[in-house]
């Protein structure tokens, strides 16, 4: 197949730059195709197991909500992110927090197509105080302090250590099934990387990957930054 190019040129670019950029463009086309191939495989997954119980979460102000109650009448998909924020932790996971800062902005758009919620092990009042400090207004925040959801769906390990995990559930004929989880976190990373199990969902890393210096190997998001 002939290599695809285009006539656009940017001010001052050299022929050496354009030749290298066209090679990269061909690789980006391949990557775009591979991303769609993987997404298609996800969509074709058979249903996973039915949820073992209709977990009850704390939602604040004395309200509780069941897992089944997180599905709206017209939307049969639920994305449920496990946030690393235990009752014993002085602060939440900075990486999870950075990720949720991004998802907060996208939530109003995402929830036109799917249900979305975030669950953490800390008491709901503590989660809500954190959300207020970060300006989160669109994320549906839940506490799993009084149920087994985290253990069953790998939001924590057998020792109670918190884990980041995006799980996807589907409602079919009134029953709820697990359909997908970001399982790359269970596998050894490539050399010089971490598991990157949610990186494609996270604008921060995708933007840094466009830059000459890349994401680097020793920099990670913080909860706060000095001026």
| Cα–Cα distance list, 145 to 85, 161, 168 (Å) | 11, 13, 20
What global pTM score does this model have? Answer: 0.92
Rounded Cα gap, residues 7 and 147, in angstroms = 59
Please list the pLDDT of the chain residue by residue as tens digits (227 residues). 557 889 999 999 999 999 999 999 999 999 999 999 999 999 999 999 999 999 999 999 999 999 999 999 999 999 999 999 999 999 999 999 999 999 999 999 999 999 999 999 999 999 999 999 999 999 999 999 999 999 999 999 999 999 999 999 999 999 999 999 999 898 887 887 878 888 889 999 999 999 999 988 888 999 999 87
Helix, strand, or coil (residue 175): strand
DSSP sequence for 182-214: -GGGGSPPPTT----SSGGG-HHHHHHTTSTT-
Task: Answer whether 39's CB lies under 8 Å from 168's CB.
Answer: no
b/e per residue 52-81 (b: at least 16 CB within 10 A)? eeebbbbbeeeeeeebeebbeeeeeebbbb
All structural domains of the chain: 56-183 (3.40.30.10)
């Amino acid at each position: 197949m002939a290599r695809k190019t285009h006539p656009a040129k940017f001010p001052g670019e050299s022929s050496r730059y354009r030749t290298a950029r066209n090679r990269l463009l061909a690789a980006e086309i391949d990557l775009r195709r591979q991303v769609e191939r993987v997404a298609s495989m996800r969509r074709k997954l058979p249903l996973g197991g039915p949820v073992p119980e209709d977990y009850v979460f704390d939602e604040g102000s004395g309200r509780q909500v069941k897992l089944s109650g997180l599905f709206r009448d017209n939307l049969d998909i639920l994305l449920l992110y496990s946030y690393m924020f235990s009752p014993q932790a002085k602060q939440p996971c900075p990486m999870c927090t950075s990720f949720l800062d991004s998802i907060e902005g996208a939530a109003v758009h995402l929830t036109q197509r799917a249900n979305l919620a975030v669950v953490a092990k800390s008491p709901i009042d503590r989660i809500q105080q954190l959300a207020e400090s970060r300006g989160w207004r669109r994320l549906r925040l839940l506490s799993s302090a009084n149920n087994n959801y985290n253990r069953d769906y790998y939001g924590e390990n057998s020792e109670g250590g918190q884990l980041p995990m995006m799980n996807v559930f589907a409602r079919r004929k009134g029953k709820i099934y697990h359909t997908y989880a970001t399982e790359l976190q269970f596998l050894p990373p490539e050399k010089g990387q971490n598991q990157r199990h949610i990186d494609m969902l996270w604008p921060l890393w995708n933007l840094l990957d466009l830059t000459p210096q890349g994401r680097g190997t020793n920099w990670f998001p913080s909860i706060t930054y000095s001026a």
